[in-house]
Chains A and B, each alone.
Chain A
């Protein structure tokens, strides 16, 4: 259960509001977040695992405040970034997954086996010793997901995880995310993917302007964007 209580974020130097005070309870298993570039949806996603902190109000995950218990919250909330290149830290695939396991599995041989099993599960079983730089964009995103999942989070927050991928990898990564047995909160520009959820939030200019069924949310978002485009033309 994720709870926003009047959580607000402003830009550090200019003081421009990025997210106006927002109160939300996110309990559905599949939630998508859509909105224009710069609308504040990534900030909202980052608030959930404490990568961004509210300047006022609070965000809680299972009753843990992201400000006071950041490290514990991040153990519960895995985060998948748009660009997997920055998410992968170690030089080879196996080593990167093993890094996520350091906290969970103490002995090295068990860690190797667990990491190999995780790579096998995600379909990268033969890529263990391959340099991260030699993997394709889709394979890198799979590897990033394997790294997130091996830390056994209760929630995965994905910030546009398929934006940089081609159609085939987009479908593959999308299907894998949908099959996760845990809560998934996905920020996306893919309006088709946005409808594969129980609830969709539309963010505009730092506020949640629609919160409800995915199909209605997409319709609302389209309307909003068309209206803004025609306003700026006239």
Chain B
């Protein structure tokens, strides 16, 4: 499964209780601070703090360790290159920054539900509400996340279907059915949005629509 989709785990840690915006802001500031400070001891301290925060969230062990393992390899390779060039302090700093930021981002995604993230995304996009109703950006983000595993599945099935008919290593036998079935999925998803009245609700929320309502919902200006 795609790690971004299954990483949230409900819990009662201090990070779980913080609002989404404060966590994203912290992550942002943390990234700037760790890039500006080049002292290896401070970098190691920040890295240790981030790892502790990650542990406090109690994330799912397997995907977290897998992710950390991957970033450790990248950090070790980067550090080795810097040490080889004679910059030992810089090597330690970069490696600690990488691991620390990755751990903190895992802590944020592990402690923030998709709904909170969507609300936050919707709030970020508020200045653009004249062209984009407030519920739409969040919805777009959710649909994108929802579609990734679905398209991966369509791709796997198309590959199996090609293989079953004895076609191997033919990009068109994989890409054409994947593309057409993805369009089919999008059409079905569109029909479902329509059937659940989700687009309608967004239209009522848009300020431009409020002035000329077709069906005069409650709260019309």
A residues at B contact (CB < 8 Å): 49, 51, 69-72, 74-75, 78-79, 81, 83, 85-92, 94-95, 98-100, 102-103, 108, 129, 131-134, 147-148, 151
Contact = CB atoms under 8 A, between A and B. Distances in A.
Given A81-B188, A83-B188, A86-B188, A71 B146 contact: no
Chain B binding surface, main DSSP class? helix
A78 B200 CA distance: 14
B113 A131 contact: no
A74 B200 contact: yes
* Shortest 6 CB-CB contacts between residues of A and residues of B: A86-B188, A71-B200, A79-B195, A87-B192, A74-B197, A133-B149
Contact of B194 (A74, A92, A151): A74
A83 B192 CA distance: 10
9 contacts: A70-B200, A83-B188, A86-B189, A87-B192, A88-B146, A89-B143, A91-B5, A92-B113, A133-B150
Nearest to A98: B115
Nearest to B194: A51
A147 B196 CA distance: 8
B210 to A, nearest CB: 14
Instruction: Give the size category of B's interface with A.
Output: 35 or more
Nearest to A80: B195
B196 A100 contact: yes
Contacts of A71: 197, 200, 203-204, 214-215
Contact of A103 (B5, B188, B192, B201): B201
Interface of B: 1, 5-6, 8-10, 113-115, 118-119, 135, 139, 142-143, 145-146, 149-150, 185, 188-189, 191-198, 200-201, 203-204, 214-215
Contact of A102 (B135, B143, B188): B135
A98 B116 CA distance: 12
Contact of B114 (A72, A92, A108): A92
B153 to A, nearest CB: 8
Given A88-B146, A129-B9, A99 B191 contact: no
Contacts of B146: 88-91, 132
A100 B197 CA distance: 8
Given A51-B191, A89-B142, A89-B192, A95 B200 contact: no
Contact of A49 (B1, B188, B195): B195
Given A81-B188, A85-B185, A90-B142, 20 more contacts: A51-B195, A71-B200, A71-B203, A74-B194, A74-B196, A74-B197, A79-B196, A86-B192, A87-B196, A88-B146, A88-B192, A89-B198, A91-B114, A92-B8, A95-B114, A95-B142, A99-B198, A132-B146, A147-B196, A151-B196
